[in-house]
Amino acid sequence: MALDRNTIQIKTLTPLWTGDVKGECNEVKETGIIGSLRWWYEALVRGLGGYACDPTNSDCKFNYKEYKRTGKIQDGLRDMCDACYLFGCTGWSRRFLLEIGNGNPVYKGTLKVKCDRRGWYLKGGLYDSLNARILNTSQEDRQDTVREDYRAIVISLLEFISRWGAIGAKTQQGYGVFSLNPSETGLSETELPRVLTNGSRKRISEQKHLPHIEEIFVWKVNFRNFEVKSIPQWGNFTYNRGIDDDMSIGPDILQFLYSKYDFVPTSPLFRYRLRKSLKQSFNNSDLRHFMMGFMGIGGSPRLRMEREVYEKMGSKIHVSHLYKKGDLHEMRIWAWIPKYVLLNSNGRVRLFEKHFRTSTNSILNTLSGEIRKSAEEIFAVENPSVVCWNFDVAQKRVVKVEIPENESYQETGELK
Amino acid sequence: MTYDFYVGLWENDEDDLKEELKKTENRRKSQRIRNAKRMLPRFFETRFSANWYSKTKEISLFVKICEENDERELLKIGYDEYVLRYLSTGNGVLRMNDDWTLEIGDGSSIFGSIACPALLLPTRNSFLLSIKFVLQKPFISKDDEGFYIHDNPVSKEKVFKIPYIRASSWKGNLRWAFGKANELHEDDERILRVFGNKKGEEASENLRKGRLYIYPTFFDQISLDIINPHDRTTKTGKNPITLEVVPKGRRGDLHLLYVPFDKIGEDEREIKKEIETDLLFLCRAIRALLTEYGMSAKRTSGYGVAEMGETAFKSILLREYEKYSDFEELVSALSGKCREFVSRGVRLNE
């Protein structure tokens, strides 16, 4: 794809994963990226007081009948949430076009990471400076069309995610961290929140259990000097070559990845330690599975929590691989710690702290402590910088979080 | 005409297929799926009808009458694997030859490039524009076929069941791109003279047929793609949606015939400017549609973008443009000529 004025560059810091119908990743699938964009956009909109539906269970649509009756676009938009307005829904196309060029595969086989008796299989993913073309697709000449620079909104959203999250699939396993070409201009930090909830249309109250930006906490771990060879003492890395041998990868896979791609696949080690820490700190398996995700328990795909049954659940804690950013080495961990939990019958919603007998602060405390300890031990660095960030809804920007003292939950049910 | 009337399940085939599915009856689900992926594509290829489309109909028929949910699911998995293993590789469907003719399995050649000597053009001031392109991203367009193994078959030509872009799709998209690329309002007279009236204006007095005739574009392979929306509460995929697509890298032809029937008998020097302008605007529209916006459903997700290749232009009145086989050179030459018009006071963009 040739560079033109509509093209920006996305530089992958850890491999990007977008799965295809065979479960592989040989090229970038824009639908996967747009799905991530939408997830973050919804979290921002909800946090700022707007309304964003769950697109897998939504009745948002463009009310064509009303539009025909009055001739005003705004009347047709009444049954649509803020997220569907940008990303599209029945009768309303997406307001922007996204096309991303293909990257190069990192490796063609599978990397097996073992820690204690646990093992994880990491496939390669894609890595490169990807050209992303973003266009407005709305018709500027139509009357009554709400005119926004949708391209600027999408770029601002990408900038936000590049600083605090990741895109694509398998982000909980380290994939998808990226940076943007710094010369790109989206909307400023103050303009983006205004635009996100501009004239909120539809309002339905029950979205408390869906991701809100103020419930998302991001830890950034930074340090300078580091030796790759310190890592194997915490994990056993084996490269299982696929059908297409990549002969350039020798036995020292970690050094190869660090030298060629500026990242080290440490996410499984951290995830293992975080899961263990949650297990030790809270005598509550349900909480651990809820936060770290699960496929099934004892061969069953369901988890029973207080007589409620949950299906397979994705991890709410996402841990990136270690990557180089300029002179620094960095990794980021972002966690969605919800205030409310959807119980699986009749849409009942319950407070997280009442349901799991613990508080957000306790979890923050546990995670912060374990992240610092793991970073010191796994990377063999002294006193790494570990800072926790959170989106302050009142100030409408991301601020540092001072982790409060640990709280205990007593049998009376009251938090102390 | 459809193939549904000729599709039936022989008892032997039905028994054999059930036998195949029963082989892993008491095994774990993952093993049953593995077996379906390994055995069923070969079974479909060797046992059912020779014609690939009839084969898919027979599989669809079997899925519809199948009582067990597990068996239905395994058949769909087997079908997907059959598409990926046989139809995506170009075996069993069609072949696109080097001269861009399409060849069906029995070797007969159809739907080749339109070879049209200039003398056979309808009028002196007509032109034929043919552009070859190669898909950079997959193409999706939903078929109106109701009886199919899954919900999103790619559009196929009615008789031979070859994946194609309908001429009506081309026309609608070109009309939109014509206005967008040339910054024209949708009611502009230039759009009207090239494409005719908008839909819904049948009752209008100002009825007018367009000058442009558009041909469908045929492809030679199908493949599969998948979209997996995630539930916001569990952050897991709920119901993956399988889509039949024409995969990237496939070649296609766009053929357009322009016949200014309403200018027959008029002074050729006068109408030549109008025709050159229309040709330039059309070229800009084609370039924008294929390379920027994409010619496909889900184009906001990047589908349908193509790279333009060799161009053929035939005309009597505009013979000087026949020498250009490169699209950009043709556009450049036209732009230069139209700049002359502008400098002489002929306004193009009103």
State residue A29's pLDDT score: 94
State residue B330's pLDDT score: 92
Contact (CB<8Å) A35/B238: no
Residue A225: pLDDT band with limits 50, 70, 90:
confident
pLDDT at A80 over 90: no
The most distant pair of C-alpha atoms in chain B lies apart, rounded to whole Å, by: 83
B185: which chain A residues are within 8 Å (Cβ-Cβ)? 141
DSSP tag of A31: H
Q: Summarize pLDDT for A10-31 with one digit per residue, the tens.
A: 999 999 999 998 889 999 999 9
Contact (CB<8Å) B234/A310: yes
Nearest Cα neighbor of B226 from A22, A212, A109 is: A22
State residue B339's pLDDT score: 76
pLDDT at B294 over 90: yes
Contact (CB<8Å) A42/B232: yes
Strand partners, B237: B230
Q: Report the residue from A22, A141, A293 with minimal CB separation from B84.
A: A22
Contact (CB<8Å) B301/A135: no
A314: which chain B residues are within 8 Å (Cβ-Cβ)? 230, 234-236
Least confident of A182-191, A261-270, B8-17, B220-229: A182-191
Q: What is the pTM of this model?
A: 0.89
Higher pLDDT among residues A139 and A375, named by residue: A375
Nearest Cα neighbor of A317 from A331, A297, A300 is: A331
Q: Report the residue from A94, A141, A293 with minimal CB separation from B185.
A: A141
Q: What is the mean pLDDT of residues A233-246?
A: 65
DSSP tag of A57: G
> What is the C-alpha to C-alpha distance for residues A68 and A62, in angstroms, rounded to an integer?
11
State residue B54's pLDDT score: 77
> What is the C-alpha to C-alpha distance for residues B248 and B245, in angstroms, rounded to an integer?
9
pLDDT at B321 over 80: yes
State residue B269's pLDDT score: 83
Query: From the CA of A224, how many Å to the nearest CA of chain B?
Result: 34
Residue of chain A nearest B223, judged by CA positions? A21
Q: From the CA atom positions of chain A, what is the Rg in Å? A: 22
Q: What percent of chain B is predicted at pLDDT more than 90?
A: 36
Contact (CB<8Å) A54/B233: yes
A266 — phi, psi (to 5°)? -100, 0
Dihedral angle of Cα A370, A375, A376, A378, to the nearest 10 degrees: 110
Instruction: Identify the contact set of chain B against chain A, taking CB-CB distances under 8 A.
Output: 80, 84, 136-137, 185-186, 224-236, 238-239, 242, 292-294, 298-302, 305
Q: Which of A99, A312, A342 to mutate to test the interface with B (most CBs of B within 10 A)?
A: A99
Contact (CB<8Å) B300/A98: yes
Q: Report the residue from B80, B226, B231 with minimal CB separation from A56.
A: B231
Q: Summarize pLDDT for B17-42 with one digit per residue, the tens.
A: 778 778 777 788 888 888 888 888 88
ipTM above 0.90, yes or no: no
State residue B107's pLDDT score: 52
Distance of CA B50 to the CA centre of its chain: 25
A42: which chain B residues are within 8 Å (Cβ-Cβ)? 232
pLDDT at A208 over 90: no
Contact (CB<8Å) B302/A100: yes
Query: From the CA of A231, how many Å to the nearest CA of chain B?
Result: 31
DSSP tag of B293: I
Contact (CB<8Å) B80/A21: yes
Q: From the CA atom positions of chain B, what is the Rg in Å? A: 24
Q: Report the residue from B137, B233, B300 with minimal CB separation from A137.
A: B300
Query: From the CA of A380, how many Å to the nearest CA of chain B?
Result: 34
Helix-strand-coil percent breakdown of chain B, rounded to 5?
40, 20, 40
SS3 A24: coil
Higher pLDDT among residues A1 and B228, named by residue: B228
State residue A271's pLDDT score: 94
B298: which chain A residues are within 8 Å (Cβ-Cβ)? 31
Classify A354 in phi/psi space as left (phi over 0), alpha (psi -120 to 50) or beta. Answer: alpha
Helices in chain B by DSSP H: which ranges? 11-22, 29-47, 52-65, 69-82, 167-181, 189-195, 268-287, 327-343
Residue of chain A nearest B138, judged by CA positions? A29
pLDDT at B131 over 70: yes
